[in-house]
Amino acid sequence: MGTEVAERALLFAHPDAGGEFVWSIAADVKLTAGESLVCHYALHGDMDHVSVPGARAGRRADDLWKHTCFEALVAADYTPGYFEFNFSPSLDWAAYRFADYRSGMTFAPVGKAPGLQVRRTTLQLELTATVHLAGLLPLCRAPTLRLALAAVIEEDAGRLSYWALQHPPGNPDFHHPDGFALELPNR
């Protein structure tokens, strides 16, 4: 069994696309080297005004970012490209491989679907996603993983806010290299 490394971080609203009803989003990330990446997101806000998709079958789906969705973009040091994982409170998920910045997108060859757990109260939405690294060899073998953690939150009337560890100048862009602000040793 691999060694576990854990980190805690806050996500910040994009200055031009922040929300009105979300007060904060925290993320805890735990990496078990070569085995799994666990991302726990805790959104605090007025949940009466946050749109949360209802539970579905928990399958691979596209366009999850058009509604409330949590994301982890993961790059392996010394390897070109990165992986994008989308986690919906509906239990649907997506996994993509990019060869370079926003180019060469393909489906990521996950050996097992991410495990998702969701809990909602009147003031909080929590989502925990376990990404199984088997089949994602660049992530299993890299000495360090760089992460860009993010969230798209849909509020009343379809208004979207964008949250990330770090925002580059301009429009929200979770794929920008500057957003990969969290490093985890993979030992």
pLDDT at 1 over 90: no
How many domains does one find in the chain? 1
Classify the C-alpha dihedral 44-9-168-64 as positive or negative: negative
Q: Are 8 and 28 in contact (CB under 8 A)?
A: yes
Measured CA to CA, the distance from residue 172 to residue 15 in angstroms comes to 9
CA-wise closest residue to 29 among 40, 20, 21:
40
Task: Say how many CA atoms lie within 13 Å of 59 toward its Cβ.
Answer: 4
pLDDT average, residue stretch 21-39: 94
Backbone angles phi and psi of 156, in degrees to 5: -45, 145
* pLDDT tens digits along 114-132: 999 999 999 999 999 999 9
Could you tell me how far CA 13 lies from the centroid of its own chain?
15
* pLDDT tens digits along 150-160: 999 999 989 99
pLDDT average, residue stretch 10-34: 93
pLDDT band of 34, cuts 50, 70, 90: confident
| CATH label of the domain that carries residue 69 | 2.60.40.1190
Domain span at residue 90 reads 4-185
Residue 157 DSSP one-character state: G
pLDDT of residue 67: 96
Calculate ∠ Cα 68-69-70, nearest 5°: 140
Measured CA distances, 99 to 30, 79, 95 (Å) = 25, 10, 14
pLDDT band of 135, cuts 50, 70, 90: confident
Tokens of 30: 């735990």
pLDDT of residue 119: 96
